[in-house]
Structure 1
């Protein structure tokens, strides 16, 4: 596979992230000046969408996509991916709006595409870190990743993480129209589909920092959805009801 070339689009879903959005995008452009940004806002009551419009007027590298209501992280990313594929973008990035994903880590993730089709920013490989999380959040995250790894038979250590870099080909070839998962489970679903399709997946260490402003969107319902879906996928694989081709993973 040739080295990645061409424009980069960073997709940032938002819901009530007005205080975080501006500083995040400024840090992003200070680190990767050529990157375009697509802000996908779900009609945030706090005015995040209006701020995104103001940012787009001031900077041609920024665009805003408005949705009619809070429809979930998964569908927000799917809308962003579709927009990227309608354009000429060759590299598409997932990044949270709350500041937990450091833009300063992005050059290393982009460089990881030299040997991969999908690069996962990983908290749980050597060099990865989590800052300012309470013990119960760390336990839930590590347990969710361990369960997913065992149930699906993959060696990815941070399959639930949301800081990712895709080659265009991955998004173009996966049948993303079949992805119905939301939130936490969306990340597992897409990574597992990439592995099944035989794409090269690589984990690069990142430093994940808990948000300082606003509130987390994680809920018991999101965790329950992930547990249920992963269990179903694992059972289908084990009993021969699903097609699985082990992808190649490198750390």
Structure 2
């Protein structure tokens, strides 16, 4: 199996080297693609230095400025499909997603029959560490709202720690994904679900970053709030053919 972990970065100099080394230390073989959005703190230079040490395993796409989380992943997805990867992972660089759980997501797809495995904060209670109560409640009830609007049964609809089987990304029209901020995470799950793919939640413990600065803002949730309604209405006029082998 060819496994690719896509990690978008912006000002992650405190985390990026440790994250790369941690992923490469896991028993399951993973390659990494860093999507670097012109960090002024030198994140890209750190990745370039490490590429000589991890030749053929560590890949880098540099972009000019902050172009958004969704566009970073879409760029990575298209690159991964062109290069023939079998499983493609989404992951933050700040250690809020436990790197060791990449192996659990992989097993859920490779052995457990999932088409998409979701690292879920809410499938077994609320497993979030170091978030203020207000942010926990906002995140949790955002997922409740998404379930009500979309009909999905996913507990953690905004999760950004995921494994896709190749066929999911081949089936979804990536150029038709509209939401570019954190609403992107919801739209990808919803679209895969509408196509009839098997989405499975794998419990994780989410820990707020210890190093660097959070990219979260109120505008991200506003986009998701209204964007999800528009997404649902658009779905009434779209067809979602199942995957054909």
User: Could you state the TM-score of these two structures normalised by the residue count of structure 2?
Assistant: 0.93
Q: Does 1:163 align with 2:161?
A: yes
Q: Deviations over 1:151-171 (max 9, x none)?
A: 111100001000000101111
Describe the SS at the equivalent of 1:97.
Answer: coil
Partner of 1:103: 99
The answer (yes or no) to whether the contact 1:41–1:49 under 8 Å persists in 2 is: yes
Q: CA deviation at 1:34?
A: 1.7
Q: Deviations over 1:186-237 (max 9, x none)?
A: 0000000000111111000011110001111111111111000112233455
Q: Deviations over 1:24-81 (max 9, x none)?
A: 1111112245210000000001011111111112212111110111100000001111
Q: Which runs of 5+ in 1 are unaligned?
A: 1-5, 247-251
Aligned mate of 1:194, from 192, 214, 234: 192
Partner of 2:62: 66
User: Could you state the TM-score of these two structures normalised by the residue count of structure 1?
Assistant: 0.91
Q: CA deviation at 1:126?
A: 1.7
RMSD over equivalenced CA pairs, Å: 1.7
Q: CA deviation at 1:97?
A: 0.7
Aligned mate of 1:55, from 50, 54, 57: 50
Q: Does 1:79 align with 2:82?
A: no
Q: Which runs of 5+ in 2 are unaligned?
A: none
Aligned pairs for 1:74-223 (under 5 A) are 74-113=70-109, 114-126=112-124, 129-223=127-221
4+ residue runs of structure 1 moved beyond 6 angstroms? none
Work out the number of aligned pairs and report it: 239
Q: CA deviation at 1:243?
A: 4.7
Describe the SS at the equivalent of 1:115.
Answer: coil
